[in-house]
Structure 1
Amino acid sequence: MNVGNWSIAGTLMPVPVSERLDLVAEPVAKALESIDDPVGVVEIDPDLADTAKFCEAYSSPLSASANCVVVSGKRAGEVRYAAALVLATTRADVNNVIRRRLDVRKASFAPMEEAVELTGMAYGGITPIGLPSGWPILIDQAVASAPEVVVGSGIRGSKLLVTGATLAKLPGAEVIDGLAK
């Protein structure tokens, strides 16, 4: 895929992320070194990083945006973390699917400060690319099957354009049917 021809870019002009590593968080840049697939990046207004605002401002389809959330739960005093990636038109099933996968009594979204500190990424820009090693990356089947998706870049001033197949190949990725509701 020519990185400039992403149909989901709306009014934005994507460039290969390798040409603009200044538009991604440090852990994301490091993780991108091991990805051979095309990944595009678009620079955006940081005030428009929230999915709904981004899609409206830049004419990118909401159905092509994927949100990455950090979830945590405790088991025997140990805090367990995972990232969940679902389409923006759905919600992650934290109380059932993710709770069972983490094998915890109760799972919930990690507090903002904790998620930012642990990932090295900005809140509102957390992406599955470059998360701490050992974290499961739970990807809804609809995301993994998507020919193109918009995800965060680790900062609020840009977005990444990738294929679902690329995300499904990330270290720690697990594609789960029914992760999203």
Structure 2
Amino acid sequence: MRAPLGNFDNARPAPESLELLPQPVADAVRGWQGDIPAGQLVFVDTDPAIADTAAFVEHYGPELADSSANCVVVAGKRGGESTLAACLVLSRTRVDVNGAVRRQLGARKASFAPMDTAVGETGMEYGGITPIGLPGTWPLLVDSAVIDTEWVLIGSGRRRGKLIVPGKVFAGLPGAVVLEGLGI
């Protein structure tokens, strides 16, 4: 199989790569019910030593600079209560935590969740967190630019490996809320 973007030596449908995915991601792929068939979710093997965006794009293909998205875990706080959520934005932008995220969560304060919390609550590796397989009770805030991107490269739940999926998939994930201006 050839990946829909990038120069990857090893690409295959995600349902054929379950053993390479952390449990929550594998479970989500196994039980996939999206409008796009699970076979269109592509797993590509990547070198974790060059996971940083600049080195990754240089090695795997310049078109990835415009097609990569980052998923980050945030915490919104109000009145002693904390709400965890995930945000998905194109990698050339950053999450508007103090504006769009805070307003959407109805929080008085919002910030990136501590690494221990993000890893512990998702069951994924730091630097590889993906929107596929997140806890079902979490809001998933998705920048509209991600939805409008034909193919999007995201984490696989581990630092080794990525997923390439059609951008419109993200609007149908559990808890998804599509927002204009989430990525600034």
Short-chain TM bin: over 0.9
Once the two structures are TM-superposed, the CA of residue 123 in structure 1 deviates from its matched residue by 0.3
> Any idea what SS the aligned residue of 1:125 has?
coil
Contact 1:49 1:158 survives alignment (8 Å): no
Q: Which residue of 2 aligns with 1:46?
A: 48
> Which one of the candidate residues 164, 168, 173 is aligned to 2:167?
164
Partners in 2 of 1:49 and 1:144 — Cα distance?
23
Matched, 1:142 2:139: no
8 Å CA contact 2:3–2:44 kept in 1: the answer is: no
Q: How does 1:63-102 map to 2 (within 5 A)?
A: 63-102=66-105
What SS does structure 2 have at the residue aligned with 1:155?
coil
State the one-letter code of the partner of 2:24: P
Q: What is the aligned-residue RMSD (CA, Å)?
A: 1.3
Amino acid at match of 1:122: E
| TM norm structure 2 | 0.91
What residue in structure 1 maps to residue 117 of structure 2? 114
Q: Is the 8 Å Cα contact of residues 8 and 44 (structure 2) preserved in structure 1? A: no
Contact kept? 1:49, 1:125, Cα under 8 Å: no
Q: Which runs of structure 1 show a deviation greater than 3 angstroms over 4 or more consecutive aligned residues? A: 4-7
Number of matched pairs: 178
Instruction: Give structure 1 stretches of 5+ with no counterpart.
Output: none
Give 1:34's aligned amino acid.
Answer: W
Q: Which residue of 1 aligns with 2:158?
A: 155
Q: Using the alignment, how far apart are the partners of 1:116 and 1:106 within structure 2?
A: 21
Structure 2 runs not aligned, ≥5 long:
none
Change over 3 Å in CA distance of 1:11–1:42 after alignment to 2: closer
Question: Post-superposition shift, 1:52?
Answer: 2.6
1:17 aligns with 2:10: no
Tell me which moved more, 165-174 or 12-21.
Answer: 12-21
Matched, 1:30 2:27: yes
Pick which of 83-92 and 14-23 moved more.
14-23
Give the aligned residue type for 1:76: G
Normalising by structure 1, we get a TM-score of 0.93
The Cα shift of 1:5 comes to: 4.2
